[in-house]
Amino acid sequence: MTIPQMFTVVLGGLVCLASICGFWSKRTRRFRALVWLGLGLAMVYVGFRPHIIEYLGEDGTELRLRLVVALLSFIMLSVTLEAIRVSRMQERYAFLWLATGMLLFLGALSPLLAIWGPRLTGMSYGAIVMVVLFSFIIFVLFHVSVTISRLEANVAELVRSLALADERIRKLQCASEIRVHGKQGDQQQNAVTPEESAQS
Amino acid sequence: MGYCSFSDMQLPDKTIFLIPVHNEEANIEPLLAEIRALYGSVPVCFINDFSRDRTCRVLRRNHCVYLDLSNNLGVGGAMQAGFRYAFEQGYDYVIRVDGDGQHPPSECVVLVERMMVGDVDMVVGSRFLGSGDYRSTWYRQAGIFWLAWTLSKVCRRTITDPTSGFQMVNRAVIGYFAHQYPVDYPEPEALALLSRQGYRFCEVGVSFRARRMGRSSIRQWGTIYYLFKVGIALLVDRCRAVDPRYDRSCAEEWV
């Protein structure tokens, strides 16, 4: 057993231990603890049986590419779901993200899609991933433009309402000032006249 | 009807001047004085489109009625605010005059005269029908010519000055514009919309003046954007269905 192997095994064991401890003391949620546990176990396994990496290397680029795409799309999916969960993102804006993430994730995992996709379209797997991602970016930008236009119209409407309300307040203020001053004048006049009448 | 002869410059009852201003501190007082001298105490409403100079202070000092927009909405957004004000306050006619002093208030008489003849909802003052010789840069002239040609085709009638903001509209159009008005560079698109919704308008010749102070909000690159934006808008409006809520026949209930 070489030193890097030992290091990987020890590190994986520590990760497993930390995830279990975190879950036990209820500081980590179940899902995260499971993910970390899986990662730790995988590290331990790779440390003991490093030929898996060699096998992946022998198999050529496509499998590794699929693994990378699966990992990235999984991160994309989980980040999107997390954003929805803590209500930072509305579902309709998340739709495109989820759809693309699911497509890439399933395409990377299922052998059927990964084999038939290239055969049907005549492109390699990597090219298909690029096409999907690129059209996703175009769609997202389009969606953002539409949304910005709508928001801008809403803001303009709000500004107009605000300006009209502001003008109304100014008018009311002016009218009330006139009324108050007018009343004071009346009161003074009224105050004078009874005294005068009393004196007389 | 409080509408008399034109010799003493009387305007019809319930007429309001709407004046969009953006950084026009030097032009407001002369313009206001001119209107007051000609038409007495006719209501005037300024729309201050988020000016960065002392426009707001000048308006307050002169005890003007004004709408103070808290963001820059452009002429279209500002004018829509003005039209909404006129609509809510129950005015029958709006005369729009630009705040830069290009539109001489004395020429309003021509617009009023045409409006009083009836059979139109909007009168536009055209600087190319009038006697005044209006000069501008060549690219702006070309742009106006192109727009006039396109708009004439879209509206199926001759329009000589599509970018003129010197207009008088009646209650029906006030109601329509209060609910729907194009965003930036609104004048050509507004004409197309009116013709699409079945409102009637016509042009009369007026003479414009040169700007007193400041500079036009539309500069060289702005002209290109203007043509692009308005061209697209005209095309799209033409393809859009007539909005039944704001049709000319529905406008009768606002009157």
Task: Answer whether residue A50 shows pLDDT above 90.
Answer: no
Ranked by mean pLDDT, the top range of A183-192, B128-137, B183-192 is: B183-192
What is the percent of chain B with per-residue pLDDT over 90, rounded to a whole number? 49
- Which H or E run includes B185? none
Chain B residues whose beta carbon lies within 8 Å of the beta carbon of residue A164: 67, 81, 84-85, 88
pLDDT at A196: 43
How long is chain A? 200
Span B181-186, average pLDDT: 85
**Which is more confident, A149 or B4?**
A149
pLDDT tens-place string over residues B95-142: 999 988 889 999 999 999 999 998 899 999 998 886 656 667 787 788
Q: What is the largest CA-CA distance in chain B?
A: 47
Span B227-245, average pLDDT: 81
* Confidence band, pLDDT 50/70/90 cuts, at residue B154: confident
Which residue from B67, B71, B183 is facing A164, i.e. has the nearest CB? B67
Span B27-44, average pLDDT: 92
> Would the CB atoms of B70 and A163 count as touching at under 8 Å?
yes
Task: Answer whether residue B7 shows pLDDT above 50.
Answer: no
Unique residue bearing structure tokens 């995260």: A32
> Would the CB atoms of A164 and B85 count as touching at under 8 Å?
yes
Pairing of strands B15-21, B93-96: parallel
> Would the CB atoms of B183 and A156 count as touching at under 8 Å?
yes
B232 and chain A: CB distance < 8 Å anywhere? no
Q: Which of B71, B75, B80, B177 to mutate to test the interface with A (most CBs of A within 10 A)?
A: B71
Task: Answer whether residue B156 shows pLDDT above 80.
Answer: yes
pLDDT at B215: 58
> Would the CB atoms of A159 and B66 count as touching at under 8 Å?
no
Distance of CA A6 to CAs A1, A18, A49, A99, Å?
7, 18, 11, 41
Domain positions in chain B: 15-254
What is chain B's mean pLDDT, rounded? 86
> Would the CB atoms of B88 and A164 count as touching at under 8 Å?
yes
> Would the CB atoms of A159 and B70 count as touching at under 8 Å?
yes
Span B51-67, average pLDDT: 92
SS3 content of chain B, % helix, strand, coil (to 5): 45, 15, 40
Task: Answer whether residue B16 shows pLDDT above 80.
Answer: yes
> Would the CB atoms of A163 and B80 count as touching at under 8 Å?
no
pLDDT at B67: 94
CA distance to partner chain B, nearest, from residue A177 (Å)? 15
3 state SS of B129: coil
pLDDT-wise least confident of A47-56, A152-161, B61-70: A47-56
Would you identify the CATH topology of the domain B15-254?
Answer: Spore Coat Polysaccharide Biosynthesis Protein SpsA; Chain A (3.90.550)
3 state SS of A90: coil
pLDDT at B216: 61
Phi and psi torsions of A25, nearest 5°: -85, 10
pLDDT at B47: 95
> Would the CB atoms of A160 and B65 count as touching at under 8 Å?
no
pLDDT at B128: 85
A163 and chain B: CB distance < 8 Å anywhere? yes
pLDDT tens-place string over residues B213-224: 555 655 667 778
Chain A residues whose beta carbon lies within 8 Å of the beta carbon of residue B69: 159-160, 162-163
> Would the CB atoms of B70 and A155 count as touching at under 8 Å?
no
pLDDT tens-place string over residues A109-123: 877 777 787 888 888
B16 and chain A: CB distance < 8 Å anywhere? no
B47 and chain A: CB distance < 8 Å anywhere? yes
- Cα dihedral A186, A189, A194, A197 sign: negative
> Would the CB atoms of A159 and B81 count as touching at under 8 Å?
yes
Cα nearest neighbour of B74 on chain A: A156
Token pair listed for B83: 């039209």
Number of cross-chain residue pairs from A and B with Cβ atoms under 8 Å apart:
40
pLDDT tens-place string over residues A2-36: 888 888 899 999 999 998 888 888 887 878 888 88
Task: Answer whether residue A135 shows pLDDT above 90.
Answer: yes
pLDDT tens-place string over residues A64-103: 788 888 999 999 998 888 888 887 777 778 888 888 999 8
Task: Answer whether residue B5 shows pLDDT above 50.
Answer: no
CA distance B31 to A15: 78
